[in-house]
Structure 1
Amino acid sequence: MKNVLVLCTGNSCRSQMAHGYLNYFQDSLANIYSAGIETHGLNPGAVAIMKEDGVDISHHTSNHVDEYEGIEWDFIITVCDHAKENCPFIPAENAERIHHNFFDPSKVEGTPEEKHAAFLKARDEIKEFCHVFVKEELVN
């Protein structure tokens, strides 16, 4: 079984959505973990936008990357530039490191409709990335 780590700054939004979709698209092909270089708790907007698409991440926890020390990673996916640039060294000589800087909907200010649109944009980008990742990296 492969081990996949999705890493973001606060493990509250983008990494949580990716974690949810990676679990959703794969069928017992990998253990999916998400973590941050900090922990900010689950973002309610991320939980809500995922629920709209039938993926429940409300049971997820916001974890620090140090909590997973000792796991042999096959893939480490950073989903924001800040995490990629500031991540502590993760010893994983065999891990494939993948980076994709996703738009951060939690930074958007405005009306409820504008915030919803921001979360929808990020969710759909993350969903597409995760679908392709599972097809190309985990199924083959």
Structure 2
Amino acid sequence: MKVIFICPGGNSCRSLIAKTVLLAISEEIEVFSYGMEKMQCSDQFIFDLMEEYGYKIETTDTSQLDDHNDVVFDYLITIYDMNKEKLSPLPFKYIHKLHLDFAAPNSMSEHYLTKVNLYKHLIEEIKVELEYFYYHMLRSDSVV
């Protein structure tokens, strides 16, 4: 089982957070993170928050297209805010495509919540969605 998470530019670490969370749910899945623009997740507080939730982000880089030219993914999952971000056509081979609508915390108003609380909310949302994806979609289909 191969899953790739894709974010447009301005990734804000969403695909890396999703990759880390899904790997924590099941180590049987090969999980990849891809940013449409080369980016590193470099805010230390994000790593600290993930550790508070019991997760450890293993890499700060999202993959690049050349890394996946010949791979056929079972699931391609896009993660972005459909109201504010645009995603270019995807050059990947995949069997199923899903979308998770998560706003980039760094694009939200700082008056709504602190940056840390915005990321806490994002981590919790991603965790809930991926637990549902794994236990109700993958496991129920006996795909994994």
The residue that corresponds to 1:4 in the other structure is 3
TM-superposition CA deviations, 1:61-85 (whole Å, max 9, x none): 22223421111110000011336x3
Q: Is the 8 A contact 1:25 1:131 kept in 2?
A: yes
Equivalent in the alignment of 1:36: 35
Is 1:59 paired with 2:53? no
SS of 1:42's equivalent? coil
Give distance in 2, aligned partners of 1:78 and 1:124: 17
Q: Separation in 2 of the partners of 1:87 and 1:127?
A: 26
Q: How does 1:11-22 map to 2 (within 5 A)?
A: 11-22=11-22
The answer to whether the 8 Å contact 2:12/2:106 transfers is: no
**Conservation of the 8 A alpha-carbon contact between 1:37 and 1:88:** no
Q: Identity of counterpart residues, as a percentage?
A: 22
Give the corresponding residue for 1:23: 23
Change (3 A) 1:46 1:9: farther
Q: Indicate conservation of the 8 Å contact 2:40/2:60, yes or no.
A: no
- Give 1:125 shift: 0.6
Partner SS, residue 19 of structure 1: helix
Give 1 or 2: higher helix fraction: 1
Question: What is the TM-score with the length of structure 2 in the denominator?
Answer: 0.81
Any conservation in 1 of the 2:14–2:104 contact (CA below 8 Å)? yes
Over aligned residues, Cα RMSD in angstroms? Answer: 2.1
How has the CA–CA distance of structure 1 residues 22 and 33 changed in structure 2, closer, same or farther, with 3 Å as cutoff?
same
Secondary structure of 1:6 counterpart: strand
